[in-house]
Amino acid sequence: MATKANLPQVVIIGSGIIGLYSAYYLQQKGYKVTIIERTDGADGCSYGNAGMIVPSHFIPLAVPGMIEKGIRWMFNSESPFYVKPRLNWDLVSWGIKFYQAANPKQVEKAMLALRDISLLGKRLYQDFAKAEQNRRI
């Protein structure tokens, strides 16, 4: 049996919805968890999506037509996909892969995986809410 001194330890980087849920479930399994966040945690990715994993949003980003929109967005600092202009081979490589994935066949394939992940996330959220509700009673 594990003692406090030899509990398995995990470090999670980021206190967004994914980081917090990961920490919660790892603690439930007996892990000692430390969360590292570079800010106060109120302005990251989860801020923009209200801390939700939304099962209805399972259509991948790489869809036909997104390339043109993405190129326009890249040069608009107010857009959701602004990229500071620079020559970056990693970004170019990513862009090529994104372009190759932006076709109906790949979209359908990705939708199935994203749907399954989203439905699992929904079930875990419901389990979490129920456990917390029972804990407070």
Give Dmax over CA atoms of the chain in angstroms: 57
State whether 108 and 41 are in the same domain: no
Q: How confident is the model at residue 31 (pLDDT cuts 50, 70, 90)?
A: very high
**pLDDT score of 2 more than 60:** no
State whether 24 and 68 are in the same domain: no
**pLDDT score of 21 more than 80:** yes
pLDDT at position 57 is 66
pLDDT at position 5 is 67
Expressed as residue numbers, the domain containing 35 is 1-52
Beta bridge partners of 33: 10
The string of pLDDT tens digits covering residues 32-70 is 999 999 887 666 666 666 555 666 666 667 777 888 888
State whether 39 and 3 are in the same domain: yes
Looking at the 3D structure of the chain, how many domains does it have? 2
State whether 74 and 120 are in the same domain: yes
The string of pLDDT tens digits covering residues 73-128 is 888 888 888 888 788 899 889 889 988 888 888 888 888 888 888 888 888 888 88
Confidence (pTM): 0.53
Cα 120 from Cα 126, distance rounded (Å): 10
State whether 65 and 131 are in the same domain: yes
State whether 127 and 73 are in the same domain: yes
State whether 35 and 92 are in the same domain: no
36: left (phi over 0), alpha (psi -120 to 50) or beta: beta
